[in-house]
């Protein structure tokens, strides 16, 4: 008892307290909150805190220390104050020792306590010194220590002031006040941040993240982000406003760490076989296990990110400790309110403790969320980088098994799912701890009655599992329909010219809307089940409470309901309900993440390019052979059989080698083998010197012309211009809006096929390489253009200066023969057989000529062949030095760049009110009003339920029972049921209204796009349109209704809490008003900035996905040019730019959550303090209702703002969906009074009357002054150079582009007096590129379902495809993959011909329909056309003059005008433009 007396002040004798007397029944609060206990705790907690955390902290800063800090004034002041405190406690130790020495007995505590504090203060001062040595500018550990240290001197000071005995013990008083002043001063100084260390890395950044400059309180509450939020509120954020990315978050650092650990994990696998890399470092293959498994990747991720994850987990555990302290403190507070004799200071202390516990829970929980979100960001960066590096080394076999869309799906979906699962990992074990602690609480409060809670929760689980299963089924159905809709939409947009040319829009719209209807039906069912699931979780708290209260009060004896039991139980049940709701969600997310993780691991373990497949050397050897292959056997993959056998080949320097052979002979395979793309089974391949490669299908980047040609090399403008001129691109580039700086659209969408091919060739020529591998480089070019390109680039006088022509003939994967052209002709071997097989049937020209694209022009040598040759050229060494002068020309000058494609602009600022109104109009005004009414009704029921429970708790107790317990229970249950019904009805109406609105908006979008003219599709990238039909539509379908439901739920809940607190304690209104002002300020700052950051993030991430897809498609070219390093650097830069937006966004989210939760905790404090002030006339039940409601609002505050922000961000989708409503539309599809008769046109006479058109309003006329008459049944050829206006005549005839002047008449009817669909359905066009659609063969042949099966089989027999279709599974019902990807080009062109035959129109347009097929297919097509269209008017647009030599008349176009007209013989005799074209093609 002496110890207790010595601890007390003179005003309180601890010995008289009954704190240790357990036999007396006293309130718990009286035991735990006695002043002696508080003083004892405040005496021992700070030293224990520092001695537990201090050594760990010291070890941490020792391992992770930075440069030492300067000896600043702040540090000196801290040290002086620390030494003063050491002296103070030295004095406190010396005084008792002196008194003992004087013979005055002293309590042990008077010596032990100062000694402990003396050693602790010494340790704290030592930590201050070590922090400076290790570069710590703001210390959280010492801030917490000084804060705890303030408690004991504070209590002592308050007690001494209240005792008023300064004169008796002045020294004791002065020591207390001085100690308090010194500790408070240290606390204030710990809130400041020290100067940066010497040689700081942050000083080198332009706009470093302010976190490093922030003090500890600023870091804890994320105030350091306020500057950015304020800037975002005041103005539009730009790239300069975003913080620079720290090295620890950079893509280069994170990917290198994960890649290193990934290699280590794979190397540790038993039986692992690694590749020994040869060549350039960037070509090094990933080390990979033989079989796909998630273990190595999981271990690598754990090693890299475990420290961040574990630190976040520790924060979460501490947060949960404070989470469960709040119900206990609420219990003590309600116990205090029920005890009329307790002292007021107990209530004040409990209010402060409740507020402090809630604030600490908020701070630790938000620190956990911050670390988890940063970890998500880093993990996404690292794995995306790993996937990108894998894309660069995928073998050809692996690329065939993975499409570009699959890789983008990995990045945008699977990596995202994996990153999001980080937050839910701890839920797998921590939630079970929550449930256990909750049941312990309930047992303490209610005894055995708590077991009924278990029964109720268990009974609800089967319902939730059933709902989840049913909802999953409908979601899968929705996803199937959504995928089907996306495929069809993509196919429509990519083939829109063909669809419009034939007038098939209606057929496709009906098909698409039918799929959309099934999708929305599944969506409605799924959302209704989701509403039931949400209601079951929301109402489970009420159900458990009802059953528990009923059992407790009605069954057990002497168990009355009081405020503590009622509202503490509700608080605990709300925590339990969160655990119950979160647990299945966590499991679901983890399961999804596991599937995504397996997909990622499988992709990372795909087969890679064999680094030993080709030996590359840049050195100059004595040998003049640039390429040598010895006994080479190659295969596409380990599973496939060899495609090349016994290849022995040497190509000397300066040699031009042509590789020819029939289809499937292995020509492209040989080039792939030389590039090291094939798996080398045996033999050797050696390449000496740099390589440039032109693929068969041109690969063009979505960047400027100059960057496409330079391809990561320095810009040399004179050489660039020379290359462009040689590749016949000079005039084309000169016509571009910004010349060489003009950006090229996605996949070269604003270039013709020939321009793309020439650009691909220019890229190779600009390289100044030693070896050029050209795969059918002249295929898409006109005859005269191919002649020019060959002479100026490939031939002896060209830039590559190839000489000593040799031909290599391949057959069945082996070299049949090799030699000069004349030698091979004399041998009469494989080359002669190849030429004989390609000759035309009798009646045509005697020999094929060099106007077959891609031949060897000059010398009059016949070069016709079934498949065009692959050119392999070893360029001369001379003239290969790269430019030493770096031209300072910006390739991205925005002022010099004229965009030729419409860009998908980023929206700025707040969403306009008109967008919200347009969405609400789509929902319907009655439905909106009904929704608000239902939400109001259910919230009134919720408020009444809580108020009724407070009345129940305040009922008087007679003989241990309450008189009206049964009535109270019935009414409580009835109110809960009404709330449940209202909640379900309100949520269901929101979701159904959302489905109605999304259906109307999608139909409107579809109609707007379908009615747009063809010029709109030429200017708008397909990706932008697909984005509207996929991502934006999905947002309108799912996100907007869900965010609207969340906003209404939280907003009405917030109103209920405000009403509850104000009703219980009207005094609280005075404090609530300032809180609301702060709330509005936080909301305004956050919403303005967050919306901008989210839009920026979406735009930046799209560029990452586009670059990934682009690299996947062109990885062969990237590897051939050995540009992996620069492409990897570009990917890292794009990813870092994305993270520069992601990081401020996640910080802004934490800033909002932390500060609004602290604001909500302030509301709890206001409710509690007002209750203490009004204790005399307040019941415990009403206080419980008020405070427990305030405790629920802490997270509601931030979720109202978050839901509003999410809704505003989602509303951008509505804005974007409506973008195309304002663009001009094409003419009506059908006219009510059509000038054409049902059988029009019966003859097919076409008359152009001074016709002219332009492609865009701002451009000059592409066709002008065309006046001519084409007689019925006449076959007319249309020829001319590229850009002469040949195809423009056809587009004008179909009104794909409207006439700018003049008119066109068909059979005496002007086509402007006919609806577009009527016109286009009476004309048939067969384009150069065959187009098929997703669906059955029958659907592709008869889209409008107008023909019988017999008619379709007859058409197939005519084009000689009947046997082929019969062999297919399902025959006419055979499903075409994609756009007929499983069929050859020739087969697709013949199917398009069969489709044309079935239309049986009087006018036929052939737009170079045979250019992409081999001679055999061309002969089949010519024979079919001659039989079926003998009586029809035929317009034959041709690039090859040989195709029009049998036409009755030929029109020669030049600069948009008809330059010559007449029969081929007449035009040749005139020796004009037609004669010159024929001479270039070898026909004259």
How much is the average pLDDT of 810-816?
Answer: 86
Q: Which of 609-618, 897-906, 962-971 has the lowest mean pLDDT?
A: 897-906
Map residue 172 onto helix, strand or coil.
helix
The per-residue pLDDT for 1234 is 64
Q: What is the mean pLDDT of the chain?
A: 78
Map residue 998 onto helix, strand or coil.
helix
Residues 6+ apart with CB under 8 A from 101: none
Dist CA 1279 CA 1445 (whole Å): 11
pTM of the prediction? 0.77
Q: Which tops the pLDDT comparison, 996 or 855?
A: 996
DSSP 8-state secondary structure symbol assigned to residue 721:
H
Closest CA to 575 of 328, 780, 354, 384: 328
Q: Which of 41-50, 496-505, 960-969 has the lowest mean pLDDT?
A: 960-969
Per residue in 179-196, pLDDT (tens digit) is: 888 888 998 998 888 887
Beta-strand relationship, 1457-1462 and 1449-1454? antiparallel
The dihedral sign for the CA sequence 252, 256, 262, 267: positive
Map residue 343 onto helix, strand or coil.
coil
Per residue in 759-769, pLDDT (tens digit) is: 889 989 998 88
Dist CA 255 CA 251 (whole Å): 6
Residue 1212's alpha-carbon distances to 344, 1050, 1094, 1208, in angstroms, are 54, 22, 11, 7
Per residue in 1248-1262, pLDDT (tens digit) is: 888 888 877 777 888
Partners of 1461 in beta bridges:
1451
> What is the CA 615 to chain-centroid distance, rounded?
39
Q: Is residue 1452 within 8 Å of 1467, Cβ to Cβ?
A: yes
Structure tokens that stand for 821 in this block: 């052209």
DSSP 8-state secondary structure symbol assigned to residue 1269:
E
The per-residue pLDDT for 124 is 92
Q: How far apart are the first and last CA of the chain?
A: 126
Closest CA to 1159 of 1199, 1190, 1203, 1194: 1194
How much is the average pLDDT of 1094-1106?
Answer: 76
Dist CA 1330 CA 1381 (whole Å): 11
The answer to whether residue 290 scores a pLDDT higher than 80 is: no
The answer to whether residue 1040 scores a pLDDT higher than 80 is: yes
| pLDDT confidence bin for 1458, thresholds 50/70/90 | confident
Q: Is residue 187 within 8 Å of 77, Cβ to Cβ?
A: no
Structure tokens that stand for 161 in this block: 């002031």
The answer to whether residue 883 scores a pLDDT higher than 60 is: no
The dihedral sign for the CA sequence 827, 829, 830, 836: positive
Question: Within a 13 Å sphere around the CA of 720, how many CA atoms are in the beta-carbon half?
Answer: 20
**Crossing angle for the helix pair 1068-1113 and 226-234, to the nearest 10 degrees:** 80
The per-residue pLDDT for 1294 is 85
The per-residue pLDDT for 161 is 65
Per residue in 1385-1415, pLDDT (tens digit) is: 777 778 888 888 888 888 888 877 666 556 6
> What is the CA 750 to chain-centroid distance, rounded?
26
Residue 18's alpha-carbon distances to 14, 22, 345, 1120, 1125, in angstroms, are 8, 8, 18, 88, 78
Quick one: what percent of the chain has pLDDT higher than 90? 6
The answer to whether residue 851 scores a pLDDT higher than 60 is: no
Dist CA 1255 CA 1288 (whole Å): 9
| pLDDT confidence bin for 1208, thresholds 50/70/90 | confident
Map residue 699 onto helix, strand or coil.
coil
Q: Which tops the pLDDT comparison, 1372 or 164?
A: 1372
| pLDDT confidence bin for 385, thresholds 50/70/90 | very high
The answer to whether residue 930 scores a pLDDT higher than 50 is: yes
The C-alpha angle with vertex 1021 and arms to 1016 and 1027, in degrees rounded to 5, equals: 110
The answer to whether residue 853 scores a pLDDT higher than 60 is: no
The answer to whether residue 203 scores a pLDDT higher than 70 is: no
Q: Which residue matches tokens 């019904």?
A: 981
| pLDDT confidence bin for 268, thresholds 50/70/90 | low
Dist CA 1035 CA 1027 (whole Å): 11
Q: Which tops the pLDDT comparison, 1027 or 924?
A: 924
Q: Is residue 690 within 8 Å of 767, Cβ to Cβ?
A: yes
Q: Which parts of 1322-1421 are beta strand (E)?
A: 1323-1326, 1335-1336, 1375-1376, 1403-1407
Q: Which of 121-135, 250-264, 896-910, 1285-1299 has the lowest mean pLDDT?
A: 896-910
Beta-strand relationship, 691-694 and 771-775? parallel
Which range scores top for mean pLDDT: 604-618, 941-955, 1048-1062?
1048-1062
Determine phi and psi for 228, rounding to 5 degrees: -65, -40
> Which runs of consecutive H residues, i.e. helices, occur in 911-964?
913-923, 925-954
Closest CA to 125 of 88, 171, 180: 88
Residue 1100's alpha-carbon distances to 721, 722, 1139, 1162, 1231, in angstroms, are 33, 36, 9, 39, 45
| pLDDT confidence bin for 89, thresholds 50/70/90 | confident
Q: How many residues does the chain have?
A: 1484
Assess whether the previous peptide bond of 490 is cis (omega < 30° from 0): no
The answer to whether residue 840 scores a pLDDT higher than 70 is: no
Residue 776 CB coordination number (10 Å): 21
The answer to whether residue 854 scores a pLDDT higher than 70 is: no
The answer to whether residue 662 scores a pLDDT higher than 80 is: no
Dist CA 850 CA 864 (whole Å): 7
Q: 276, exposed or middle or buried, with CB in 10 Å at 0-12, 13-18, 19+?
A: exposed
Q: Which tops the pLDDT comparison, 63 or 517?
A: 517
Alpha-carbon Rg of the chain, whole angstroms?
41
DSSP 8-state secondary structure symbol assigned to residue 1268:
E
Q: Is residue 1047 within 8 Å of 1203, Cβ to Cβ?
A: yes
Dist CA 193 CA 253 (whole Å): 28
Dist CA 776 CA 779 (whole Å): 6
Q: Which parts of 783-837 are beta strand (E)?
A: 803-811, 814-819
Residue 805 CB coordination number (10 Å): 17
The per-residue pLDDT for 1067 is 74
DSSP 8-state secondary structure symbol assigned to residue 167:
T
Q: Which residue matches tokens 């792939």?
A: 672
Helix, strand, coil % over all residues of the chain, rounded to 5 = 65, 10, 30
The answer to whether residue 525 scores a pLDDT higher than 70 is: yes
The answer to whether residue 876 scores a pLDDT higher than 70 is: no
The answer to whether residue 629 scores a pLDDT higher than 60 is: yes
Dist CA 730 CA 698 (whole Å): 18
How much is the average pLDDT of 564-587?
Answer: 78
Q: What is the 3-state secondary structure (H, E, C) of 377-390?
A: HHHHHHHHHHHHHH
Residue 983's alpha-carbon distances to 149, 527, 978, 990, 1052, in angstroms, are 49, 14, 8, 11, 12
The answer to whether residue 1086 scores a pLDDT higher than 70 is: yes
Structure tokens that stand for 331 in this block: 């219990």
Which range scores top for mean pLDDT: 357-366, 884-893, 961-970?
357-366
Determine phi and psi for 745, rounding to 5 degrees: -65, 175
Closest CA to 40 of 16, 11, 5, 90: 5
Residues 6+ apart with CB under 8 A from 1252: 1261, 1263, 1264, 1265, 1266, 1299, 1300, 1301, 1302, 1456
How much is the average pLDDT of 812-823?
Answer: 85
Q: Is residue 181 within 8 Å of 153, Cβ to Cβ?
A: no
The per-residue pLDDT for 1 is 33
Question: Within a 13 Å sphere around the CA of 733, how many CA atoms are in the beta-carbon half?
Answer: 25
């Amino acid at each position: 008892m002496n110890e207790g007396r010595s601890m007390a002040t003179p005003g309180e004798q601890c010995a008289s307290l009954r704190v240790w007397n357990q036999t007396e029944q006293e309130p718990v609060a009286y035991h735990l909150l006695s002043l002696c206990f508080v003083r004892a705790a405040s005496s021992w907690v700070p030293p224990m805190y520092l001695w537990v955390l201090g050594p760990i902290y010291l070890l941490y800063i020792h391992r992770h220390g930075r440069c030492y800090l300067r000896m600043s004034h702040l540090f000196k002041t801290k040290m002086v104050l620390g030494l003063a405190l050491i002296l103070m406690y030295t004095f406190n130790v010396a005084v008792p020792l002196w008194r003992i020495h004087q013979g005055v007995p002293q309590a042990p505590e008077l010596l032990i306590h100062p000694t402990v504090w003396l050693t602790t203060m010494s340790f704290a001062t030592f930590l201050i010194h070590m922090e400076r040595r290790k570069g710590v500018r703001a210390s959280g550990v010492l801030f917490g220590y000084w804060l705890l240290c303030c408690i004991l001197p504070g209590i002592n000071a308050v007690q001494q002031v209240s005792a008023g005995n300064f004169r008796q013990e002045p020294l004791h008083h002065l020591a207390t006040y001085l100690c308090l002043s010194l500790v408070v001063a240290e606390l204030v100084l710990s809130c400041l941040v020290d100067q940066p260390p010497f040689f700081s890395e942050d000083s080198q950044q332009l706009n470093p993240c302010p976190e490093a400059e922030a003090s500890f309180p600023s870091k804890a509450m994320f105030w350091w982000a306020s500057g950015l939020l304020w800037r975002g509120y005041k103005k539009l954020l730009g790239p300069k406003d975003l913080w620079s990315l720290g090295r620890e978050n950079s893509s280069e650092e994170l990917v290198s760490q994960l890649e290193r650990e990934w290699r280590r994990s794979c190397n540790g696998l038993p039986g692992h076989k690694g590749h020994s890399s040869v060549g350039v470092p960037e070509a090094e293959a990933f080390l990979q296990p033989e079989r796909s498994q998630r273990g190595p990747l999981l271990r690598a991720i754990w090693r890299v990110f475990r420290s961040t994850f574990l630190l976040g987990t520790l924060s979460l555990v501490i947060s949960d400790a404070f989470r469960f302290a709040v119900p206990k403190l609420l219990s003590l507070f309600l116990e205090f309110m029920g005890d009329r004799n307790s002292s007021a200071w107990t209530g004040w202390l409990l209010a402060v403790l409740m507020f402090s516990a809630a604030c600490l829970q908020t701070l630790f929980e938000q620190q956990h969320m911050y670390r988890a979100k940063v970890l998500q960001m880093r993990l996404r960066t690292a794995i995306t980088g790993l996937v990108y590096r894998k894309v660069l080394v995928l073998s050809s076999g692996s690329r065939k098994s993975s499409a570009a869309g699959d890789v983008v799906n990995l990045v945008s979906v699977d990596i995202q799912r994996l990153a999001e699962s980080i937050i839910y990992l701890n839920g797998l074990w921590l939630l079970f701890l929550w449930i256990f602690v909750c049941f312990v609480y309930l047992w303490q409060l209610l005894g055995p009655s708590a077991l009924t809670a278990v029964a109720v929760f268990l009974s609800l689980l089967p319902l939730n599992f059933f709902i989840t299963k049913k909802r999953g089924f409908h979601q899968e159905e929705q996803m199937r329909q959504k995928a089907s809709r996306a495929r069809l939409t993509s196919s429509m947009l990519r083939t829109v010219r063909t669809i419009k040319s034939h007038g098939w829009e209606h057929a496709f719209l009906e098909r698409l809307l039918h799929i959309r209807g099934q999708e929305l039906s599944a969506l409605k069912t799924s959302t209704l089940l989701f509403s039931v699931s949400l209601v079951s979780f929301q109402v489970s708290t009420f159900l458990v409470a009802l059953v528990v209260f009923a059992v407790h009060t009605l069954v057990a004896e002497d168990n009355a309901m009081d405020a503590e039991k009622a509202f503490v139980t509700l608080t605990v049940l709300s925590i339990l309900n969160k655990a119950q709701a979160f647990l299945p969600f966590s499991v679901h997310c983890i399961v999804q993440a596991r599937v995504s993780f397996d997909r990622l691991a499988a992709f990372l373990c795909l087969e890679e390019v064999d680094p030993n497949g080709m030996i590359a050397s840049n050195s100059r050897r004595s040998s003049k052979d640039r390429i040598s292959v010895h006994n080479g056997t190659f295969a596409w993959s380990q599973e496939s059989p060899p495609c090349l056998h016994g290849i022995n080949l040497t190509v000397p320097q300066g040699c031009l080698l042509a590789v020819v052979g029939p289809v499937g002979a292995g020509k492209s395979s040989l080039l792939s083998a030389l590039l090291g793309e094939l798996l080398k089974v045996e033999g050797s391949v050696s390449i000496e010197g740099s390589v440039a490669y032109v693929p068969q299908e041109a690969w063009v980047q979505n960047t400027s012309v100059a960057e496409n040609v330079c391809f990561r090399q320095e810009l040399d403008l004179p050489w660039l211009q020379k290359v462009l001129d040689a590749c016949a691109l000079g005039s084309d580039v000169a016509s571009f809006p910004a010349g060489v700086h003009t950006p090229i659209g996605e996949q070269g969408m604003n270039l013709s096929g020939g321009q793309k091919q020439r650009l691909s060739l220019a890229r190779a020529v600009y390289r100044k390489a030693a070896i050029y591998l050209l795969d059918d480089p002249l295929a898409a070019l006109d005859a005269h253009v191919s002649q020019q390109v060959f002479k100026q680039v490939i031939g002896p006088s060209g830039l590559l200066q190839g000489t000593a022509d040799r031909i290599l003939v391949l057959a069945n994967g082996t070299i049949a023969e090799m030699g000069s052209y004349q030698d091979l002709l004399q041998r009469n071997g494989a080359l002669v057989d190849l030429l004989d097989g390609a000759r035309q049937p009798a009646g045509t020209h005697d020999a094929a000529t060099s106007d077959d694209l891609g031949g060897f022009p000059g010398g009059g040598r016949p070069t016709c062949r079934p498949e065009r040759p692959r050119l392999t050229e070893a360029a001369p060494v001379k003239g290969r030095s790269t430019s030493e002068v770096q031209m300072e020309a910006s390739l991205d000058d925005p002022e010099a760049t004229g965009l030729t494609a419409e860009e998908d602009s980023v929206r700025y600022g707040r969403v306009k009110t008109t967008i919200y109104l347009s969405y609400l109009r789509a929902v319907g005004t009655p439905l909106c009003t009904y929704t608000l009414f239902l939400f109001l009704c259910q919230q009134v029921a919720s408020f009444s339920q809580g108020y009724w429970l407070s009345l129940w708790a305040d009922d008087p107790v007679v003989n241990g029972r309450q008189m009206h317990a049964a009535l109270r229970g019935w009414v409580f249950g009835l109110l809960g049921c009404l709330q449940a019904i209202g909640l379900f009805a309100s949520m269901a109406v929101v979701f159904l209204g959302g489905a109605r609105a999304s259906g109307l908006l999608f139909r409107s979008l579809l109609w707007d796009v379908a009615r747009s003219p063809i010029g709109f599709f030429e200017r708008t990238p397909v990706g932008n349109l697909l984005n509207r039909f996929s991502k934006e539509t999905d947002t309108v379908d799912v996100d907007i209704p869900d965010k609207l439901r969340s906003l209404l739920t939280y907003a009405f809940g917030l109103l209920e809490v405000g009403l509850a607190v104000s009703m219980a304690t009207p005094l609280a209104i005075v404090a609530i008003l300032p809180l609301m002002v702060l709330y509005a300020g936080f909301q305004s700052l956050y919403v303005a900035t967050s919306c901008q950051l989210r839009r920026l993030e979406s735009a930046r991430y799209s560029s990452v996905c586009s670059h990934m897809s682009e690299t996947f498609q062109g990885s062969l070219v990237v590897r051939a040019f050995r540009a992996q390093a620069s492409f990897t650097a570009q990917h890292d830069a794009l990813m870092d730019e994305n993270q520069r937006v992601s990081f401020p966004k996640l910080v802004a989210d934490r800033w909002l959550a932390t500060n609004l939760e602290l604001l909500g905790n302030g509301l709890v404090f206001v409710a509690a303090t007002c209750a203490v002030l009004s204790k005399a006339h307040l019941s415990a039940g009403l206080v419980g209702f008020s405070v427990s409601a305030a405790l629920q609002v802490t997270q509601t505050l931030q979720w109202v703002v978050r839901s509003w922000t999410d809704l505003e961000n989602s509303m951008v989708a509505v804005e974007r969906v409506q973008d195309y409503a304002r663009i001009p539309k094409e003419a009506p599809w059908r006219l009510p009074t059509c000038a054409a008769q049902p059988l029009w046109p019966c003859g097919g006479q076409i008359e152009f009357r001074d016709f002219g058109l332009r492609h865009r309003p701002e451009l000059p006329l592409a066709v002008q002054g065309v006046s001519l008459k084409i007689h019925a049944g006449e076959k007319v050829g249309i020829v001319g150079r590229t850009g002469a206006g040949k195809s423009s005549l056809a587009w004008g005839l179909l009104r794909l582009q409207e006439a700018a002047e003049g008119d066109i008449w068909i059979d005496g009817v002007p086509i402007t007096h006919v609806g577009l669909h009527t016109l286009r359905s009476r004309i048939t066009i067969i384009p150069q590129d065959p187009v098929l659609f997703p669906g059955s063969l029958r659907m592709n042949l008869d889209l409008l379902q107008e023909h019988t099966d017999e008619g379709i089989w007859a058409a197939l027999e005519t084009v000689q495809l009947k046997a082929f279709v019969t062999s297919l599974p399902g025959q006419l019902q055979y499903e075409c993959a994609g756009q007929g990807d499983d069929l050859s080009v020739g087969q697709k062109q013949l199917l398009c011909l069969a489709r044309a035959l079935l239309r049986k129109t009087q006018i036929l347009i052939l737009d170079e329909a045979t250019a992409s097929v081999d001679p055999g297919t061309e002969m089949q097509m010519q024979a079919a056309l001659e039989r079926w269209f003998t009586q029809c008017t035929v317009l034959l647009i041709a690039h090859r003059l040989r195709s029009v030599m049998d036409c009755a008349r030929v029109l020669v176009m030049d600069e948009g005008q008809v330059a010559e007209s007449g029969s081929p013989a007449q035009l040749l005799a005139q020796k004009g433009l037609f004669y010159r074209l024929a001479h270039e093609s070898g026909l004259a």
